[in-house]
Chain A
């Protein structure tokens, strides 16, 4: 299997200027590699930086030093040093990220939220909406809700819309932050199926799982944070 993500000597600390300049170290020289088609779990105690690592790979946190190399269709790119425009391009084409919570935008219907990653790639609207509806159906969101803004949806429904959005487009690198938290057994199963499908399609999956059984089911190995 070919490597698509390389983390080299990653360092990250937070300096809290408003709280006396306290420095909170998170990573001090982290190294990891992930290949296409495999799933790797990030493990470690709460507060150890599991979500932070996902955010660093996605580029929403800024590394203090080190490199995060991702392989895109245009070759290797270093997220840590990339220009903002290039990071945005990577997010459109290469790195997908399912966050823990949906960012609801007033007045935007669920099906459009789900279709957006495809629309941003220039996929035809009918085709993008078709894929969105298929995913919403698969995740048991009732059809009568598809045209509504998820503003008033339950927490579980919002999370399923969020997952549908994350899986709408195929990404070579897929970051998942507790994708099954707050879901019932049936929907957890559906999400597990989606992850397996993404792996089979060649995505490298890097995930934080709350549930140990699910983690073992999907992920062959760990990036352990101590």
Chain B
């Protein structure tokens, strides 16, 4: 197993206020890391710093490119960084409207990302889009509808198809099941889990839901007030939590 992304001492401050600080970890190819913590713990800030959506105040992120080079992300040109973000990376937003183009059809949302990496043949683009929509369980007859006409769960699945169509190796997810009904959540989680395995995707998943972390991830980081207070294998952290805050988090889950 090879290190895909490596974060060292990542920090982000907003004036005097700390978003996150001193976050370091290595992510291997094909590995799913969950970042958990309550709202305001800095997990989304961290995700945005790692994925280049936000400029971090300190620290560095290195990434193993497809061609085998390991680069410091800060050293990439804007064009290189954009290319990386739309080919080798994906970002699934909690609010699908942030990750989709709401003005074009579902099929075009998938096709657009393909065109961004150079696909030009309309028939091929449409066929690949259709194939990807089927994988995320969106039927062909909804392909030409606007995402406005989709349910919340469908929009989220469309966002996933849009991200995965370029065969990325790393996907960032910010509360991918937040705001969805539990039945819709289960379907989406199962889909994500299956796709992650099938394509050997690495993922960093931010969630406040420990059940989501358990289902998707093999490793976990617990954040509180901008700092990582506990890390380990997901089952270690959930079954034998060490930090007082992690124990509180785990013991607060209601059993059904």
Chain A residues with CB under 8 Å of B190's CB are: 105-108
Chain A 101-144 interface 0/1 with B at a Cβ cutoff of 8 Å (1 = within): 00001111000000000000000000000000000000000000
Contact of A62 among B1, B232, B247 (CB under 8 A): B232
Q: Are A62 and B219 in contact (CB under 8 A)?
A: no
Minimum CB–CB distance for A8 against chain B, Å: 20
A interface residues, how many (CB within 8 angstroms): 19
Q: Name which residue of chain A comes closest to B241, CB basis.
A: A17
Minimum CB–CB distance for B199 against chain A, Å: 14
Once the chains are docked, how many angstroms separate the CA of A87 from the CA of B189?
A: 25
Minimum CB–CB distance for B27 against chain A, Å: 10
Q: Name which residue of chain A comes closest to B191, CB basis.
A: A107
Q: Are A62 and B240 in contact (CB under 8 A)?
A: yes
Minimum CB–CB distance for B149 against chain A, Å: 25
Interface pick from A53-61, A67-75, A195-203: A53-61
Known: A60-B240, A85-B1, A107-B187. A16 touches B233 (CB 8 A): no
Q: Does B58 contact A (CB under 8 A)?
A: no
Chain B residues numbered 10-35 whose CB sits less than 8 Å from any CB in chain A: 28, 31
Contact of B186 among A18, A88, A89, A107 (CB under 8 A): A107
Q: Does B248 contact A (CB under 8 A)?
A: yes
Chain A residues with CB under 8 Å of B9's CB are: none
Q: Are B236 and A60 in contact (CB under 8 A)?
A: yes
Chain A residues with CB under 8 Å of B219's CB are: 84
Q: Are B233 and A88 in contact (CB under 8 A)?
A: yes
- Specify the main secondary structure of chain A where it touches its partner: mixed
Q: Name which residue of chain B comes closest to A60, CB basis.
A: B235
Q: Does B239 contact A (CB under 8 A)?
A: yes
Q: Does B218 contact A (CB under 8 A)?
A: yes
Chain A residues numbered 3-17 whose CB sits less than 8 Å from any CB in chain B: 14-17
Contact of A16 among B186, B193, B236, B247 (CB under 8 A): B247
Q: Name which residue of chain A comes closest to B240, CB basis.
A: A61
Q: Are B247 and A17 in contact (CB under 8 A)?
A: yes
Q: Are A18 and B239 in contact (CB under 8 A)?
A: no
Once the chains are docked, how many angstroms separate the CA of A55 from the CA of B28?
A: 25
Minimum CB–CB distance for B211 against chain A, Å: 11
Contact of A84 among B232, B239, B242 (CB under 8 A): B232
Once the chains are docked, how many angstroms separate the CA of A15 from the CA of B246?
A: 12
Once the chains are docked, how many angstroms separate the CA of A61 from the CA of B239?
A: 7
Minimum CB–CB distance for B109 against chain A, Å: 25
Minimum CB–CB distance for B153 against chain A, Å: 14
Q: Does B39 contact A (CB under 8 A)?
A: no
Q: Does B139 contact A (CB under 8 A)?
A: no
Contact of B28 among A16, A59, A85, A107 (CB under 8 A): A85
Once the chains are docked, how many angstroms separate the CA of A85 from the CA of B232?
A: 10
Once the chains are docked, how many angstroms separate the CA of A107 from the CA of B193?
A: 11
Once the chains are docked, how many angstroms separate the CA of A17 from the CA of B244?
A: 5
Max count, chain B CB within 10 A of own CB: residue among A17, A61, A89, A108: A17
The 10 A-B residue pairs with the shortest CB-CB distance, nearest first, are A17-B244, A106-B186, A60-B235, A107-B190, A61-B240, A84-B233, A17-B247, A60-B239, A84-B219, A18-B247
Point out residues on A near B: beta carbons under 8 Å. Answer: 14-18, 55, 59-62, 84-85, 87-89, 105-108
